[in-house]
Structure formats: C-alpha cells, structure tokens
A and B are shown apart, each in its own frame.
Chain A
Amino acid sequence: MTVDNEIIMKMEDLSKTFLTTSGIIRRNKRVVVALDKVTLDIKKAEILGLIGESGSGKSTLGLAALKLLDIDGGKLLYRGNNIYDLNKKDTMNFREKTQMIFQDPYGSLNPVLSVYNTISTPYKVFHKNANERDVIERVLHVLEIVGLSPSHQYLAKFPNQLSGGQRQRVGIARAIITNPEFLVADEPVSMLDVSLRADILNILLNLRKELSTSILFISHDIAVTQYVSDRIAVMHLGQIVEIAESTELVNKPLHPYTQTLINSIPIPDPEKKWDSTEPKVLAGEYNNEGKNECSFARKCPFVMDKCRVSRPPLIEKGKDHYVACYLYE
C-alpha cells in the first residue's frame, strides 16, 4: 500500500484526567486517567484505526485531536504547530481543515434544519461571502459523493424523513464540505444495521482515495476497523499498547491484550465454533489511576514483576509494528 509518508498530526505524551463521582449519593470521588501519555502519528491520506474497549479512552483521544476538550499534558502538533497554543484565528483555520463524523445518526443532525442547511453551514461559516449558487453546487456535489442521489431531491428533506443510513451520509457530507485534511470518525457505523455499514465504510475508503483525507477511525468493532484501516492502534486504559499495519495486527498480534481481543472476535465460519472455555484473562481490578505500571499488568496471563513497577515503552518489533510489552525486550 503506497501511502504518502508525510505526517500531518503528531500526538506527544497527551494526557487527560477526569474526576468523577459515583455511587448513589455521589460519595466516591474517583480519578479516571483517560489519556496516559499517548504518543501517536497520523500520516497524510491514511486511515488509522483506533480500537479499544469501553473505558480505553479512544473517544477522548478523538475529542482531543480536534481540540474539543482541554488536555492536562502533552502536545498535539498539526502541521508543526501545537493546536493547544493556537490563537482564535488560527483555531478557525484548524477547524476548517478538520472535522468529525459522529456515532448517532439520530442525534447528530438538528431536527429543525433541512439537509441543505445542515450541510451548508460549515461552508458558509468559513466562506462568509460565498455566493448562494456556489454553495448549492457544493452541497449537491458532496451529496453525490456520499451516494445520496438524485442529490437535489435531498436538499429540502428533514432528518425525520431520512433513514439512519441516510442521516449518517448527511453527517459525512457535512464533514467533508470544507474539504478537510483530517477527519475523526467516532464509531460511525455502530448504530447502523449490519447490512448498511458496508456502504458507509466504502464511502470513507473513497474519501481517502479521491480526496487524500486522513481519518482517525475509532471503533470497538475490530473486524470493521480492520476492513477500513491502513494501520491500527490498540488502546487500553489510556495507553497505546500496540500499533501495526492492520492485517499484520489482526494476524500476528504481539501484545497479550491485543491477543485476547483478537481471539474473542466472532468469525463467521462455523468450523471455528466456540467452546465453553473462557478466555484466559485473570480476574482483578483494573487500574485506572495512572500508577506507574503496565496498564494490563493486573490482568495479564504473562505478567512479570517488572510489569508491575514500570510502564513498558513502545518499541519497534518488526516493520512498522510497535508494541509496549516487556515480553519483547
């Protein structure tokens, strides 16, 4: 796969902590480390998959990448500049070039706005003096790209007249109308019926091919992620534990956590029937308080003493295959 090697986004030691209260009378205060010194690169015209279970911090990373929340440490360099240092004007430029595709087809569109109004808004904000005819042409163009054809029939429709799959396409059209360089797709197909997902995924692949858009594809569904991504990064409790080219990751996972994940994925092949043995994951509490240890230490079947006292760094173990695990030192 030929991918331009230029890096457009560089995350260095990104950290973010949330304070939560839980319990019926909100007595228990907890510190949740959502991002624990995350370092990651995204290349031009690349689809980088980000997988992890709930609580891994992957959605938080998506928000951080678009400057939608404040971070507690680290840098996020877009074209060489730390986005968290940008002034208002430069932030607007950043917004023009970066967009998001959302998970919920029912909550991501304003019910009182027509498709035309929803899609044209980002364009109008960044091109205040745009001619109405030009705007209409652009909206029709992106509608065609996302497969809503004949496009002019969709302009006046409202979200309640569209199916889930159609709404999701409108959301994508809105995200690409300013010709962004970088998109964050946060679980874009998890709320759609299975038979409708392929079309959305193929649209994303097309965007990468035709418009050289880079996409951070966040999902808990590994099969879906592998289909659409060039590389995949695996996140666990705020830490990146493995990064590799997508087929490589799925066929030769190195990190014990990744292995557990891959082994648990259903495969539509009846010859690979499951038996009643539960996956070998030690019972035990997860550590989410940023202590200095491997995030998987308390549950890893191969845990060693070293793993409990220091955090393994990401090292290269094969071509473009990085893993954070002392088993490979």
Chain B
Amino acid sequence: MTSRDEDINSILKSSSQINRFKDFLKRLIHHRKGLAGIIIIASLVLIAIIGIFFAPYNPFSTNAAAFQPPSKSHILGTDYLGEDVLSWFLIGTGTSLMVGFSIAVLSAIIGVLVGVIAGYFGGQVDNVLMRVVDILLVIPGFPLLVILSAFLPPTLETTIFVLSILSWPFLSRVIRAQTLSLKQRQYILASKLSGLSGFKIISRDIIPNLIPIIFINAIFLAVGGVVAQAGLAFFGLGDLRSVNWGTMLYWFEAEDGIVFNAWWWLLPPGLGIVAFGIGANFLGNAVYELSQPLRSGKQ
C-alpha cells in the first residue's frame, strides 16, 4: 500500500458513521443543556445500577420500625412496614427507567415503521395506515387502561404493552409528516435516478435524516411513559407488587404517609420523576438545537 492509499483509507474511516456519532457526542457535551441532561439521566441510570448490586436491604424485609425518619442505618428512613426506603428507591429507579425506555423503544419502532412507509409510499398504503392511526388516536387512553386492566394480567409487561399501543400513533404522524417533507428533497430524486429501490432509499436517505427527530420524540415518550405508569400505579392499577416510583407513591398515599409527615418516603420518587423529566427535556432540547441544518455563508 502506498502512502496515498493509507491516506485514503484513513480519510474514509474518519467519515464513517461511528466517527460522526462520536463527533456529535462531543458537541453535545459542550452544549450546556446537553451536558446537564446527560448528567441527570446518567445519574439516574447509575442509581439504578447501584440498586441492582448494592441495595442495602431487601426492599420487602420489614425488620425495622415503621415510619422512621432518615438515620444512620436507614439513610432514607423507613416506610409503613419498616421497609428501607433507600432500597426501594434504588431498585424502583431501575424499574421505572426500564418501563420508560421500553415504552419509548417499542413505540418508536412501530411508529417509525408505520410513519415512514405511509409517508414514502403514499396512496392506498398511506390511507389504510392513517385510518388505523386515527382510530387509535381517538380512543381515550386512561379509560382504556382501566378497562384493560380488568381483563389483562396486572403485570408490568401489560402496562408497557398498553402504553406503547397508545403512544406510537402520535409518533407515526410526526414521522409521516417529516417523511413527506424529506421526500421532496432533490437528493431523493438523485437516488431514484441512481437506480436505488424504494426500501434502499428509505433506509439510506430518509431514516438517517430522521434520527434527531426520532430521538427527541423517543425521549419524551420515555418521560411520558414513566409518568403514565407512575400515575397508573398511584391509582392502584398495574402491578402493585412491583417496586417502582409509582408504587412508592401509591403506598405512601394508601398508608397515610402524609399523616406521619413521612417526607423521606415521598420525596425520592417524586424527585426522581421530576429529575427524569427535566433531564429528558434538556437532552431533547440540546439534540434539537444541534441538529438544525448547518448552512454555509448565507447573508
């Protein structure tokens, strides 16, 4: 290999997608809101990981006295059964985040597939898919959840499944609109002239240009999912044997934590939800700002 070949190889490597992604991460870290968002979410993930390996107690062990304020042996105090709140919070964070991300991923996959196919191919395909979307959008979410909870096994999987079914239609409409707009770009026409097939064009020209919008929507779906699941749990729906932010709030309410002024029991899950919302918001905004098209030398 001549040195020119080596030059070319290194140049081509530097243009690969991984390097582009690393580049983007660097820019994100230098963005103030982006950095804040990453730190917040990373912290929550860290808490979840700690929960898996280092929770001080089994959350269901009731060896301590009930409603104890924070102390050396129980850093976040105890709940109505003498269970360790810190352990609940560490493990609960993991569960809640898992629920949020699962809903985001599931909704994103379905939403993007439906949106892109409807937008790119148009015609009858578009009509049929959008009618399905419209029907799902019309169904009121909360009553549906309540009804379904009566019929389906009250597990976390059910909650994730139902919330995803309710979330993907909105995403598909957003993606479809973006696809319709991207379809008009001249580089799509250029790809058609190059002989690329429809699916190749979708995967190469359309989806990569949708990634910022997919990510931003997915983040907000994750937050929405976490809040929805917590809300459901708070109302006693879903899996009440699970350990998560929502069930913590449920038990706090059901067992009159407020009467006992047990702020150490209320604050962690509440703050967890708020922190996740803020972190996601910051991160989403940062990605949005950084993904605005860059144009050279306009007046």
In the complex, A293 has a CB within 8 A of chain B: no
Binds B, one of A22-30, A32-40, A109-117, A311-319: A109-117
CA distance A17 to B222 in the complex (A): 48
Q: Which B residues from 262 to 299 make CB contacts under 8 A with A?
A: 293-297
In the complex, B189 has a CB within 8 A of chain A: yes
In the complex, B61 has a CB within 8 A of chain A: no
- A155 engages B191 (CB within 8 Å): no
Determine the residue in chain B with the shortest Cβ distance to A125.
Answer: B195
- A112 engages B15 (CB within 8 Å): no
CA distance A104 to B187 in the complex (A): 10
- B296 engages A122 (CB within 8 Å): no
Assuming the contacts A104-B186, A111-B209, A163-B296, asked whether A122 and B195 have C-beta atoms less than 8 A apart, the reply is yes
Q: How far is the CB of A148 from chain B (nearest CB, A)?
A: 14
A126 CB contacts on chain B under 8 angstroms: 195
Binds B, one of A91-99, A198-206, A218-226, A320-328: A91-99
- A164 engages B296 (CB within 8 Å): yes
Number of interface residues of A (CB under 8 A): 40
Q: Which B residues from 180 to 195 make CB contacts under 8 A with A?
A: 185-187, 189-195
- B11 engages A112 (CB within 8 Å): no
Q: Return the contact of A174 from the options B12, B190, B204 (Cβ within 8 A).
A: B190
- B187 engages A110 (CB within 8 Å): yes
In the complex, A84 has a CB within 8 A of chain B: no
1/0 contact trace for A110-133 toward B, CB 8 Å?
111110111001100110000000
Q: Return the contact of A108 from the options B4, B186, B194, B297 (Cβ within 8 A).
A: B186
- A99 engages B8 (CB within 8 Å): no
In the complex, A276 has a CB within 8 A of chain B: no
Q: Which B residues from 199 to 254 make CB contacts under 8 A with A?
A: 204-205, 208-209
Assuming the contacts A102-B190, A121-B194, asked whether A160 and B15 have C-beta atoms less than 8 A apart, the reply is no
- A92 engages B195 (CB within 8 Å): yes
Assuming the contacts A122-B194, A125-B194, asked whether A108 and B187 have C-beta atoms less than 8 A apart, the reply is yes
A160 CB contacts on chain B under 8 angstroms: 293-296
Number of interface residues of B (CB under 8 A): 28
- B187 engages A96 (CB within 8 Å): no
In the complex, A78 has a CB within 8 A of chain B: no
In the complex, B261 has a CB within 8 A of chain A: no
B192 CB contacts on chain A under 8 angstroms: 68
Determine the residue in chain A with the shortest Cβ distance to B8.
Answer: A152
- A125 engages B196 (CB within 8 Å): yes
- A155 engages B193 (CB within 8 Å): no
Q: Which A residues from 126 to 162 make CB contacts under 8 A with B?
A: 126, 136, 152-153, 155-158, 160, 162
- B296 engages A162 (CB within 8 Å): yes
In the complex, B43 has a CB within 8 A of chain A: no
CA distance A289 to B294 in the complex (A): 42
Q: How many A-B residue pairs have CB under 8 A?
A: 86
Q: How far is the CB of A185 from chain B (nearest CB, A)?
A: 13
In the complex, A56 has a CB within 8 A of chain B: no
- A155 engages B8 (CB within 8 Å): yes
Determine the residue in chain A with the shortest Cβ distance to B185.
Answer: A107
A110 CB contacts on chain B under 8 angstroms: 187, 191, 204-205, 208-209
Q: Which B residues from 76 to 101 make CB contacts under 8 A with A?
A: none
Q: Return the contact of A100 from the options B4, B8, B189 (Cβ within 8 A).
A: B189
- B295 engages A106 (CB within 8 Å): yes
Determine the residue in chain B with the shortest Cβ distance to A133.
Answer: B5
| Residue among A66, A113, A153, A162 having the largest count of chain B Cβ atoms under 10 Å | A113
Determine the residue in chain A with the shortest Cβ distance to B297.
Answer: A163
CA distance A118 to B196 in the complex (A): 12
CA distance A325 to B142 in the complex (A): 72
Q: Return the contact of A102 from the options B186, B209, B294, B297 (Cβ within 8 A).
A: B186
CA distance A103 to B184 in the complex (A): 13
- B12 engages A96 (CB within 8 Å): no
Determine the residue in chain A with the shortest Cβ distance to B19.
Answer: A156
Q: How far is the CB of A129 from chain B (nearest CB, A)?
A: 15
Assuming the contacts A153-B11, A155-B8, A160-B294, asked whether A107 and B186 have C-beta atoms less than 8 A apart, the reply is yes
Q: How far is the CB of B193 from chain A (nearest CB, A)?
A: 6
Q: How far is the CB of A21 from chain B (nearest CB, A)?
A: 17
Q: Return the contact of A116 from the options B4, B12, B190, B194 (Cβ within 8 A).
A: B12
B11 CB contacts on chain A under 8 angstroms: 152-153, 155-156
In the complex, B58 has a CB within 8 A of chain A: no
A106 CB contacts on chain B under 8 angstroms: 295
- A107 engages B191 (CB within 8 Å): no
CA distance A162 to B194 in the complex (A): 22
CA distance A282 to B293 in the complex (A): 45
CA distance A98 to B192 in the complex (A): 12
CA distance A99 to B192 in the complex (A): 10
- A68 engages B209 (CB within 8 Å): no
Q: Which B residues from 1 to 44 make CB contacts under 8 A with A?
A: 4, 7-8, 11-12, 14-15, 20
- By Cβ-Cβ distance, the 8 closest A-B pairs, closest first, are A156-B15, A122-B194, A114-B15, A108-B186, A160-B294, A112-B208, A102-B186, A125-B195
Residues of A at the B interface (CB closer than 8 Å) are 66, 68, 92, 95-96, 98-100, 102-104, 106-114, 116-118, 121-122, 125-126, 136, 152-153, 155-158, 160, 162-164, 171, 174
Apart from A125-B194, A155-B12, list 11 A-B contacts with CB within 8 A: A104-B186, A110-B209, A112-B208, A116-B12, A116-B15, A122-B193, A125-B196, A136-B12, A157-B15, A163-B296, A171-B190
Give 16 CB contacts A-B under 8 Å. Answer: A102-B186, A104-B186, A108-B186, A108-B190, A110-B187, A110-B204, A112-B208, A112-B209, A116-B12, A152-B7, A152-B11, A156-B14, A158-B20, A160-B296, A162-B296, A164-B296
